Every structure is written in C-alpha cells, then in structure tokens.
Chain A
Amino acid sequence: MRLPALLALYAALVRLAFRRQLAYRTANLAGLLTNAFFGLLRASLFIALFTSSGTQTTASISGYDLQMAASYTWVTQALIMVVNLWNWWDIETTIRTGDVVTDLARPFSYLGYWLARDYGRAAYFALFRGLPGLLFGQLTFQAGLRWPEGPVAWLLLLLSLSLAIAISFAWRFLLNISAFWTTDARGAGGLYGALVLFLGGFVVPLRFFPDWLQPLLFSLPFAGIIQIPTDIFVGRLGGLAALEALATQALWALLLLGLAQLTVVFAVRRVSVQGG
C-alpha cells in the first residue's frame, strides 16, 4: 500500500475506535463518577501530607509543592482510562473465540491495526473521561490544579502521552497475545496490573521512594506510563530533563512494540484454520 493510503487507513481505524466508545455513555458516566470519588480520596490524603505536623505546613515534598501534589492525584486519576491501566482483554477474547483469524487475514499490519484502535480509544477517554475528571479536580481544590504552562509544555505533554499509550499498549498486547500459548493470560494480567500501579508511580509518585532507588525506577518500562506524563503535566519535569525522559519513553515504546511484532510472527505459525 502507498503511504498516503496507509495513513488514511490508520486514521480511519482511529476514528472508528473513537466512535465505538461513544456508544457506552452510561458506563462512561458511572466510571467518571468512580474516578472522581477516588480522586477526591487520594487528593485529600496527599493534601494531608503537607499539614502532617499539625498547623505547620511543609513547603515541598520530593520537589512537589501542595498544588503540584494535589494535581498529581487528579492527573494520574485522569490517565487511568487513557493509558488503560487494567483489564483490557479485547485481543485475548478474539483468540479464545477464534475471531482472531479474521483480524490476521486483513491486508495490513495486525499490530498496527490494534495500535491504531488503541489510539482512538485513548483519544475518546482523554476527552470524555480524563478532561471532565481534571475539571472536577480543578473545581474541588481551592487553589485549582497546576496545568502545563506554555505551548512547549503542552507539546511535551502530548508527545509523552502518545508514548505512554504506546508503552502501555505494547504491554497489554503482549499479555493478550500470550493467550496463543497459555490459558492463563488473565492471571499474569493481574500481576502486571499490580506492578504498573506501583512502579508506574500511580499509587505514590516514584520520587517519594528512597533516593538511591530512583535511577532504577525511572529506567524501567513502567515509569513512562504514568509518572513521566504526569510530571510533565504538573511542571515537575521540564526542559532538558523532560527531553531525556521522553527519550527513555521512546526507547521502551520501540523495544516493546518490536517485541510485540516478533510475537505476532510466532503466533501466526500457531494458527490453524479449519475450513467450513
């Protein structure tokens, strides 16, 4: 296929996946309510950290001031469905039902097909889940949230988010596609969910961990899913340091997507189609 045609194809896939999500309005509203409530609980806890010794307030913890810390909880909360932290088994389902054969037979990249759909899904959740959640945080926190300042910060955020989705997608793709070899894919998925919550910096910012551990934590392929885009959003990461973080993200995205492509090659050899 020629490049313009290919691009048009992927753009169409992104749009379709976006529109597909629009059908689940009530479910999204329920999810939004849940995300907002959890945001409220988590923000309360993080705000309490700054007044831990009675009336005296702490100015900054690990480089986050009160507003940045409160924003941190709301941004991570908004990212849950954008990077789709848990429970995405769309591909595994097609492998169990056999529908995977249709997808593999399509005259374009199997990995690209799902990646494009994931970007469409992510765009939907950024607009209809993430943004309303952030606005809710903005309204409930007196000082308001810390938003990216200036076009450069917004550009960095956009790049970082795109890479975060790619990394998260590659992990989920690998977990799903393991269903070609094992019936236990979901068990491993639970373990991954726990890992990404902690090592991705969702539960607690990675910068709260012991200082000697941080170089390691930031070089793992989990930091790029939550911690890095969130830090760029709240202004904890900018300039050269942000570019360096983006490079780490890009490296992991390429590596994991490459691995995913490799598993597709092996998976295809295992497929045997019964005529009928």
Chain B
Amino acid sequence: MPAFPLLHLYLTLVGARVRGQMQYRVSFALSAFGQAFITIIEFGAIVVLFSRVPRIAGWSLWEVALLYALAETSFSSAEFVGSALDDFQLRVSQGTFDRVLVRPLGAFFQVLAEELALRRLGRVLQGILVLILALHNLALVWTPDKVLVLALGLASGMVIFFSIFVLAAAFCFWTVEGKEATHVFSYGGVTLADYPLDVYADWLRRFAIFVLPLAFVSYEPALYLLDRPDPLGLPSWLRLLSPLAALGLALLARLGWSVGVRHYQSTGS
C-alpha cells in the first residue's frame, strides 16, 4: 500500500486522462497555446485601455494588473483542479453519474479524479507571469505580513473559485438545462474580480463583499498590499478576512454538494 492511498489513486486516474489527452498532440498544443493566448489577450486589452486613459477609477495600470493577476491565477488553478466540474451537467443528463454512486469511494473524489485538463496550465502560467510583472513594476516595500497576505490571498481566491465550481456542479442535480446561468458566478466572478470594485454600482460591490465573497479574491488583498485607503470606507481589518471568506464559501459548497447528491434521482437512461 502506498503511504497516501487516495492521493495515489487520484494520480493514477488523472494520469490515465493526461495520457489520453496526449494522443491528440497537435490539438493539445493548440488548445494549451489558445488558453495562454486568451489570457495574454485579456491582459493586452487592459494595456490598450490604459493607452487611452491614465487611470481607471483612480487605479494605475500595474495596480489593475495586480488585481487581474490575483484573480486570474486563483481562478485558473481552481479551474484546473476542478476540470471535471464544468461539464458536470452531461454526467447527470447522460446518467454516467450513477456509476460513481455504486463504487465504494466518495462521489466527490471520483468526479474530481475523472478529468484533469492539462491545457489549462497555460492560463495558470499566464496569471503568474502577469503577477510577477505587476509586482516588479509596483516596487512594493515587502514586509512579512504582506508576503503572508499575498500567499493567503491566492490560496483563498483559489478556494473561493473552486467552491463556486462545486456549487455550479451541484446546481445540475436540480436542473441540467440552466447550467449556463452559473457562468455568471464563475466566469462572471473572475471578470468582476479582474478590475477594481470601485467601477461597479453599489449593489454589485455589496454583493461581492457580503454575498459572494469575490472582493476577497483580489480587491481586499490588493488594498492591503498597496496600502490604499478603502474608497468605500469599510474597516481596514476587512482586507485580512480572505481566508475566512474562503472557508465560509467552502463549507457552503460542501453542504450544497451533499444536499444535491441526496436529491439526485437518476435519469434512468
């Protein structure tokens, strides 16, 4: 028996998927490049915007780049680990989820081990690259607490997005047709977190702070790293709460998933 049997099993299972992806080499290379390219383009768009205006809502190019990099890196790594979750509606509608339920292992573990889309690493690398560029150009004065806030911010962001993916997958236990609506929170969520919260309407800001904690992915950690005053006048300890927000959403996702599995009735096909 290996030391960590579950981890060993996970690596064996996703390893098979990865070998499968490698059978279509050109397609793999193109789509990995495509993923990286899309991110470059999104960042390119920010640069183009800043070629026409000096600041957006008081934020400079590299300050926005920091927000963007925090959001992209955490989103894309969550998307990478949760590769199996984004077409989960197919598993429900085609009835293949039943297979998972009859095997003697946790359903969530099995679903997660079913896919690992290696091409998504392209987007992760881009996020990290922009992060390095932004930090380099901002010339921050680094203190141990800032290093900690950065690391915890990235980890929390990843947990927040991963939880959103889990909730979106759990949503499929009730309806498979409306899956695209969950993109509002996943893809919409990362887009929202790419830019300073200051550009959005009041209700959207409140939503991102108090309901779906997207503000804690990039905005709040960035305020701390940049020593910026909060234009919304919220207390400064709020910017340290990313891990707590992530934990809260993760617990909610766990609950949502288990309620969903219990609610699940096979299509019978």
6 chain-A/chain-B pairs, Cβ below 8 angstroms: A33-B181, A34-B183, A38-B188, A49-B56, A52-B58, A190-B38
Interface residues of B (CB under 8 A from A): 24, 26-31, 33-35, 37-38, 41-42, 44-45, 48-49, 51-58, 175, 177-181, 183-184, 187-188, 191-192, 195, 198-201, 204
Contact B52 A191 (CB under 8 A): no
Contact B45 A58 (CB under 8 A): no
Contact A187 B58 (CB under 8 A): no
Given the interface pairs A34-B188, A45-B56, the reply to whether A191 lies near B37 with Cβ below 8 Å is yes
Q: Is the interface of A mostly helix, strand, loop or mixed?
A: helix
Determine which of A26, A51, A62, A191 lies in contact with B178 in the assembled complex, contact meaning CB atoms within 8 Å: A26
Contact A193 B200 (CB under 8 A): no
Contact flags A166-192 to B (C-beta < 8 A → 1, else 0) = 000000000000000011101110110
With A31-B180, A33-B181, A203-B41 already in contact, 17 other A-B pairs whose C-beta atoms are closer than 8 Å: A26-B178, A27-B177, A30-B179, A30-B181, A33-B180, A34-B180, A51-B57, A52-B54, A53-B55, A182-B26, A187-B26, A187-B31, A191-B33, A197-B38, A198-B41, A198-B44, A209-B48
Determine which of A48, A53, A204, A210 lies in contact with B54 in the assembled complex, contact meaning CB atoms within 8 Å: A53
Within 8 A of B (CB), among A196-221: 197-198, 203-204, 208-210
User: How many angstroms from the CA of A44 to the CA of B192 in the assembled complex?
Assistant: 10
User: How many angstroms from the CA of A30 to the CA of B200 in the assembled complex?
Assistant: 22
Contact B181 A191 (CB under 8 A): no
Q: How many residues on the A side are at the interface (Cβ–Cβ under 8 A)?
A: 40
Contact B57 A52 (CB under 8 A): yes
Residue of chain A at shortest CB distance from B46: A204
Contact A208 B55 (CB under 8 A): no
Interface membership of A41, Cβ < 8 A: yes
Contact A194 B38 (CB under 8 A): yes
